[in-house]
């Protein structure tokens, strides 16, 4: 098979790329996805995310290396393995990030990546059901909506946050990000609106676009320093696909660096260790890994308004099924993380250091161990960690999982912010707004009060909030992997377009920014 463009990964960025590159009927485009089709009611139903996070069917189901600062635990990292990628299994929160983060990228020499450059793209993508404004638009393919049937407890979170001194904010993607308020979500008519549903499904019938699922790319093929194709494994057979113009890696912050390493692009000393022939000695491939570490506070809900795992919830569950089937409303239309916020930890802070996601249910450990009863969960993550990790190879087997070493909390400053953020989360639950429903703290627990006790709680319970970035960073320095046009340094015909190119992690959720990265790459190619 021969194409003009090959896109590796049908995720948040890859679906945008496939749409834009195939808009010209003279471009032959091939989109390769290792996972299966996204034609699933579990994916379409927003509340289905609880099941998606705990199953391997649509999920790479990665595990990290043991974390020295987290009691030697291996943390579970779910990532989308289906058409739509992680936009098909995430919590659908539509968040652009803080202006200052993008301006920092531009200040580091990445021309065209300042917030003023990216805001028009965010708006071009968006169809916001609230209507057009200075910060929002209504002509895009990505539907952005308010949660249809929010739980009453979600409103209490906002009131409680305001009572602790956090400002009220009804639009995190508006004039400012700081504050507490409702999340907008990537949904349409009460269903998940992934990057695939927004950008790929409407163009699947283009004759010049080929989408192959179950196609695991095992290596990039080179002629000298020119990328000329890829090798895939599909249905138990290996085959090669040629690219006459360019190949774009959009596999995400784990898979993209792994594929580069398997293909001979990366630190030469690491490649030699695994017997992989060197194509380009790029020391930054797999380095600079960053993620948002998350810890939870949980309370009992004595009002029983929460989504519960209890016999008494059965009538509501049955009614909810009927309500969703008839009107696409009710608790099944919830993205679970209905409200949230961004907060500064001191008056001197220039930017919010922590983010909250409020859930009107018990949910931790990615929903793999559902706690019985009625409760509420407040997730708190540190937004700009200083700890840095890496993605590496365990061996040269392209079908094996890579080594994931985030090095959580390896920088002392990260510990300080996690502790202060956890204390703020507890204060929110202690506020007057929650008093009528708060039946007592479940976690960390009433006996956990000293800094050492809280450190121990973080060590045994902290998890990812699903935002790994940075492992093929954009820039000009010796550790950069791509330039500001997303071209891999020193090679021809090869780009990377996904969360891995972020030089520094943004202060917020990463799904919408990844779609913008896909758009930026498409424009650079077609320019």
Contact 483, 474 (CB under 8 A): yes
Q: What is the signed CA dihedral for 434, 439, 443, 444, rounded to 10 degrees?
A: 80
Task: Verify that 263 and 333 share a domain, yes or no.
Answer: no
Does residue 125 lie within any of the structural domains?
A: no
CA angle 299, 339, 99 (to 5 degrees): 130
Q: Which residues of 400-436 are buried (b: 16+ CB within 10 A; e: fewer)?
A: ebbbbbbbbbbeeebbebbbbbbebbbebbbbebbee
Residue 91 is assigned to a ligand binding site: yes
CB atoms near residue 198 (< 10 Å)? 26
Identify the three-state secondary structure at position 483: coil
Instruction: Tell me how far apart the alpha carbons of residues 38 and 35 are, in angstroms, rounded to a whole number.
Output: 9
Q: What is the Cα 122 distance to its own chain's centre?
A: 16
Residue 455 in domain: yes
372 and 304 co-located in one domain: yes
Q: Report DSSP letters for 337-404, one per residue.
A: --EEEEE-SSTT-SS--EEEEEESB---GGGTSPPSB-EEEEEEEESS----BEEE-SSS-TTSPPEE
Total domains in the fold of the chain: 2
pLDDT at position 317, please?
82
pLDDT at site 309: 84
In tens, the pLDDT along 306-326 reads 998 888 888 888 988 999 999
Whether residue 374 contacts residue 283, with contact meaning beta carbons closer than 8 Å, is answered with no
| 111 within domain boundaries | no
Asked whether residue 93 is marked as a ligand-binding residue, the answer is yes
- For 185-235, what is each residue's pLDDT tens digit? 999 999 999 999 999 999 999 999 999 999 999 999 999 999 999 999 999
CATH code of the domain in which 435 resides = 3.30.410.40
Q: What is the pLDDT of residue 363?
A: 80
Q: Are residues 217 and 81 in the same domain?
A: yes
Contacts within 8 Å (CB) and 24+ apart, 217-220: 217/8, 217/32, 217/34, 217/251, 217/259, 217/398, 218/262, 218/398, 218/399, 219/259, 219/262, 219/263, 219/398, 220/247, 220/259, 220/260, 220/263, 220/265, 220/494
- Tell me if 182 sits within 8 A of 339, measured CB to CB: yes
Does 307 lie in the same domain as 199? no
3 state SS of 125: helix
Residue 142 domain flag: no
Structural domain for 93, as ranges = 1-98+192-289+390-406+468-527
Strands 237-249 and 494-496 turn out to be parallel
Q: Is 10 annotated as a binding residue?
A: no
Scan for tokens 């500001």, then name that residue: 484
| 518 and 395 in a common domain | yes
203 located within any domain? yes
Q: Are residues 161 and 308 in the same domain?
A: yes
In Å, how far are 12, 436, 487, 494, 497 from 9, measured between CA atoms?
9, 48, 17, 14, 10
pLDDT at 312: 84
Instruction: Take residue 370 and report the two structure tokens written for it.
Output: 């559902």
Which among 372, 400, 331, 354 has a CA at the least distance from the CA of 508? 354
- Give pTM, 2 decimals: 0.97
Structure tokens at 354: 């922590």
Q: Are residues 395 and 433 located together in one domain of the fold?
A: no
Q: Is 213 helix (H, G, I), strand (E, B) or coil?
A: coil
217 assigned binding-site residue? yes
Active site residues per annotation? 467
Same domain, 152 and 239: no
Q: Helices (DSSP H) in 65-147: which residue ranges?
A: 99-107, 115-125
Classify residue 110: in a domain, yes or no: no
Task: Say yes or no: 340 and 433 in one domain.
Answer: yes
243 is in an annotated binding site: no
- pLDDT reported for residue 311: 82
- What CA dihedral angle connects 319, 321, 325 and 330, to 10 degrees? 70
Residue 120, domain member (yes or no): no
Please report, for the domain that includes residue 201, its CATH number: 3.50.50.60
Low-confidence ranges of the chain (pLDDT < 50): none
Virtual CA dihedral for 184, 185, 189, 191, nearest 10 degrees?
-160
Residue 127 included in any domain: no
Same domain, yes or no: 267 and 337: no
Domain boundary among 419, 442, 461: 461
Give the pLDDT score at 418: 99
Same domain, 92 and 153: no
160 in the same domain as 199: no
């Amino acid at each position: 098979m021969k194409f003009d463009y090959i896109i590796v990964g049908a995720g948040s960025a890859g679906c945008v790329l496939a749409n834009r590159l195939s808009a010209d009927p003279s471009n032959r485009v091939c989109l390769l996805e290792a996972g299966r089709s996204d034609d699933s009611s579990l994916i379409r139903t927003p509340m289905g995310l609880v099941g998606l996070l705990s199953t391997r069917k649509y999920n790479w189901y990665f595990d990290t290396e043991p974390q020295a600062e987290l009691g030697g635990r291996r943390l579970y990292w779910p990532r989308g393995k289906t058409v739509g990628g992680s936009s098909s299994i995430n919590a659908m929160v539509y968040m652009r990030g803080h202006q200052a983060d993008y301006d920092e990228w531009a200040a580091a020499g990445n021309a065209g990546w300042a917030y003023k450059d990216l805001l028009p793209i965010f708006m071009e993508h968006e169809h916001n059901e609230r209507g057009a404004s200075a910060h929002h638009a209504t002509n895009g393919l990505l539907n952005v909506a308010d949660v249809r049937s929010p739980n009453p407890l979600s409103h209490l979170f906002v009131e409680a946050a305001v009572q602790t001194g956090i400002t009220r904010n009804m639009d995190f993607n508006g004039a400012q990000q700081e504050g507490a308020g409702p999340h907008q979500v990537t949904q349409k008519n009460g269903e998940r609106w992934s990057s695939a549903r927004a950008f790929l499904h409407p163009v699947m019938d283009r004759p010049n676009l080929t989408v192959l699922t179950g196609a695991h790319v095992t290596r990039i093929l080179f002629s000298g320093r020119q990328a000329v194709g890829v090798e895939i494994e599909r249905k138990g057979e290996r085959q090669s696909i040629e690219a006459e113009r360019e190949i774009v890696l959009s596999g995400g912050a784990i898979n993209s660096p792994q594929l580069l390493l398997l293909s001979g692009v990366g630190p030469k000393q690491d490649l030699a260790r695994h017997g992989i022939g060197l194509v380009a000695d790029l020391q930054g491939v797999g380095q600079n890994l960053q993620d948002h570490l998350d810890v939870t506070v949980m309370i009992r809900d004595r009002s029983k308004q929460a989504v519960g795992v209890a016999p008494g919830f059965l009538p509501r569950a049955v009614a909810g099924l009927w309500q969703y089937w008839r009107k696409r409303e009710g608790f099944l239309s919830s993205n679970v993380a209905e409200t949230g916020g961004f907060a500064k930890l001191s008056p001197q802070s220039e930017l919010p250091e922590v983010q909250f996601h409020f859930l009107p249910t018990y949910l931790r450990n990615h929903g793999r161990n559902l706690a019985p009863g009625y409760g509420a969960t407040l997730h708190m993550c540190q937004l700009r960690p200083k700890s840095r990790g890496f993605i590496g190879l365990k061996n040269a087997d392209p079908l094996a999982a890579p080594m994931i070493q985030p090095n959580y909390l390896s920088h002392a400053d990260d510990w300080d912010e996690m502790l202060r953020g956890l204390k703020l989360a507890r204060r929110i639950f202690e506020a007057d707004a929650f008093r009528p429903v708060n039946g007592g703290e479940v976690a960390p627990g009433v006996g956990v009060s000293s800094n050492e006790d809280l450190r121990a709680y973080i060590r045994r319970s902290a998890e990812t909030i699903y935002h790994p970035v940075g492992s093929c960073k954009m820039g000009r320095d010796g550790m950069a992997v791509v330039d500001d046009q997303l071209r891999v340094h020193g090679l021809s015909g090869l780009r990377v377009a996904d969360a891995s190119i972020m030089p520094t992690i943004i202060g917020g959720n990463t799904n919408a920014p990844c779609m913008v990265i896909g758009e930026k790459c498409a424009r650079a190619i077609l320019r």
